[in-house]
Amino acid sequence: MSVVALRLAGPLQAWGSGSRFVRRSTDIAPTKSGIIGMIAAARGLRRTDPLEKLLDLSFGVRIDQPGQLLRDFQTAQRPRRDRNGDLDWQSLPLSTRYYLTDATFLAVLEGERALVEGIDEAVRAPHFPLYLGRRSCPPAGPVVLGVSDQSLHDVLETWPWLASSRVQKQHRERVVRLATIRDAAPDETAVESIRDTPVSFDPNHRDYAWRSVVRDTVEVPNPHGVSDPAPEHDPMTVLGG
Amino acid sequence: MFLTKMQINPRRRGAQQLLSSPQAMHAAVLAGFPDARPTEDGRILWRLDTYATHRVLLFIASPDKPDLTHLVEQAGWPTTQAWQTAAYDGLLGSLRAGQRWQFRLTANPVRSGRREEWTETKPLGHVTVEQQQQWLLDRAERLGFRIAPSTTGAGEPDLAVVDRSVRRFGRGGASVTISMATFDGHLDIEDVDAMRRSLTFGIGRAKAYGCGLLTLSRPGGAG
C-alpha cells in the first residue's frame, strides 16, 4: 500500500456532507466525497462515469489550520434576454452558503501503488480544473505533496505542520496537537457514521453511502515554538496516597 | 479532609453542560456527598483546571470521601478511569511556618463599590491582572502566607495570573456574573493555623462556583 499526500489551502473552501436544498453547509474538514470528486475531475472523468477503483482508497485528513467559518447569503441573478431583445435579470433561488476561510488541511489517500501514482500524476496536470469543494474555491499553491510507502496513519502523524508561519508563531508551544478525521479500520469500532462515500456523482441520481469515521489527534512539532508546555500543577503528589 | 482529582472528558455532552454552568457543576459535585454541609474540619471546595481543550481536571477538597460515580458516568471515562481520592490530613499536619510551596488558586477577586445610581454597595469584580494580583497580595498575610519573591524579576512577587474569565450562567430564573482569576506561583507559610484554614475553608467569594480552592505542590526549579 502506498499513500499520496495533498495540501488543501486557499482563500475559501467548502466541504459539505449533509447539504440539502438552499442551505449549503460546510464541514470543518475536507470530506472523502469532495476529495474523490476532485481527483476524478483531475483524471478527466465525467460526472456520469463510474468511479470504480477510486472507491477502494482509504482517506484521512489532518486539520493543520482550522480557519474561520464564513456565511454567505447568496442572492445571485443571471441575465436573460427577452424575445424583444431587452436584458432582464432572473433571480436564482436565495441560498445560504457556508465557507471555511484561510484554512489548511493535509489530506492523505491510501491505496495500491499504481493507483496512487496515477492520482499524483493527474493532480499535477489536471484534466478539469481543481477546486476545494465548491467551484468558486480554487486551491492556492501546489496540491500534491508526493507519493510515499508509509501508512496513512504514519503520514498524518509525521508530516510537518502545514500551517502558515503567522499561525505557527501564534502557538508558543514546541509541540502542537492537531485533530485528524480518518476512515475507521475494518477492526476498529467507529463512533460516527456520515453519509460521505461517493457512489455516483451523476447529477440525475447522485448517491452517497455511509462512511465510518474516527476522530483522533496527533502531536506535531512546531518549528516556531519557543516554550515547553507549562508544567501541570498536581497537588496529589504531595499527599502520599 | 480529603482531596480528590477527576479527569473530565470535555467531548461528552454531559461534560459540556457541566462546564458551561458552575451552578450545574456545583450541584453535581455536592451530589457526590451524603452530607454536604461544612464541618469544623472544612467545607467542600472544588476547582476546574484547564490545560488544553482536551485536558480538564476537577479537584475537590472535602471533609468526607466523595462518590463521584454519577459524575464519571455523565462526564468522565467510565470504563478506563474513575477518580483518585487521597487523605489531606497528613499534609495539613505537616505544614510549618517558613515552608515554601508551589500553589494554584482560582478565586473571585472583588472589591465592594457603588455606582452612581446605586443606593447600596455591591461586590464588583476586579478586571485587570494588576488589580487581581493586588487583591491576593493584600489578603496573603491574613490567609497565613506570603507570596515568595520571584527568582527572575527584581523584588517582584512570584505570582502569575494564568487564566481569567468572566462567567455568566443561569441560576433559577436569574443570571449570575462572576469574574474568575487563576493564580500560579510560590508562597512561604507564615501562620500555620491561618494557612490550614485557607486550605480547608477556601479563599474569597463564590466558593460554590469553583472559586477559593487553594492547592499546594512541591516547589519547582530554584524556588
* A234: chain B residues, CB-CB within 8 Å: 5, 217
Span B180-185, mean pLDDT? 93
- C-alpha cell of residue A101: 476561510
Whether A239 and B91 lie within 8 Å, measured CB to CB: yes
Bridge partners, A70 (sequence order): A99
Bridge partners, A68 (sequence order): A101
CA atoms within 13 A on the CB side of B219: 17
Give a yes or no: residue B222 inside a domain.
Answer: no
Distance of CA A129 to the CA centre of its chain: 17
Whether A235 and B84 lie within 8 Å, measured CB to CB: no
* A237: chain B residues, CB-CB within 8 Å: 217-218
Give a yes or no: residue B68 inside a domain.
Answer: yes
Whether B86 and A177 lie within 8 Å, measured CB to CB: no
By residue range, what is the domain housing residue B142? 96-217
The CATH number assigned to the domain holding B10 equals: 3.30.70
- Positions in chain A whose pLDDT score sits under 50: none
Residue B136 sits in the same domain as residue B208: yes
Looking at B32, B60, B91, which one is the last position of a domain? B91
Residue B105 sits in the same domain as residue B62: no
Domains, chain A: 2-67+101-230 (3.30.70.2660)
**What percent of chain A has pLDDT above 90?**
66
Whether B54 and A217 lie within 8 Å, measured CB to CB: yes
- C-alpha cell of residue B180: 474568575
For residue A171, the model assigns a pLDDT of 87
* B216: chain A residues, CB-CB within 8 Å: 235, 238
* ipTM value > 0.85: no
Residue B128 sits in the same domain as residue B199: yes
For residue B221, the model assigns a pLDDT of 53
Span B28-50, mean pLDDT? 93
How far apart, in whole angstroms, are the C-alpha atoms of residue B161 and residue B176?
A: 23
Per-residue pLDDT band at B222 (split at 50, 70, 90): very low
Interface with A, mutate which of B49, B217, B218 (most A CBs under 10 A): B217
How far apart, in whole angstroms, are the C-alpha atoms of residue B24 and residue A92?
A: 48
pLDDT above 90 (res B106) = yes
Q: What sign results for the dihedral spanned by CA atoms B210, B216, B218, B221?
A: positive
Per-residue pLDDT band at B111 (split at 50, 70, 90): very high
Q: B98, exposed or middle or buried, with CB in 10 Å at 0-12, 13-18, 19+?
A: exposed
Place of cell 457526590: B32
Per-residue pLDDT band at B18 (split at 50, 70, 90): very high
pLDDT digits (tens, 9 = 90+) for B41-87: 999 999 999 887 788 999 999 999 999 999 999 999 988 888 999 99
Give a yes or no: residue B9 inside a domain.
Answer: yes
In the chain, the amino acid numbered B60 is I
Alpha helix (H) residue ranges in B8-119: 13-20, 22-30, 69-75, 89-94
* B56: chain A residues, CB-CB within 8 Å: none
For residue B43, the model assigns a pLDDT of 94
Residue of B nearest to A173 (CA): B52
Q: Using CB atoms, pick whichever of A231, A239, A241 lies closest to residue B220.
A: A231
How far apart, in whole angstroms, are the C-alpha atoms of residue A192 and residue A210?
A: 10
Return the SS3 of A100.
Answer: strand
Check: pTM over 0.90? Answer yes or no.
no
Return the SS3 of A107.
Answer: strand
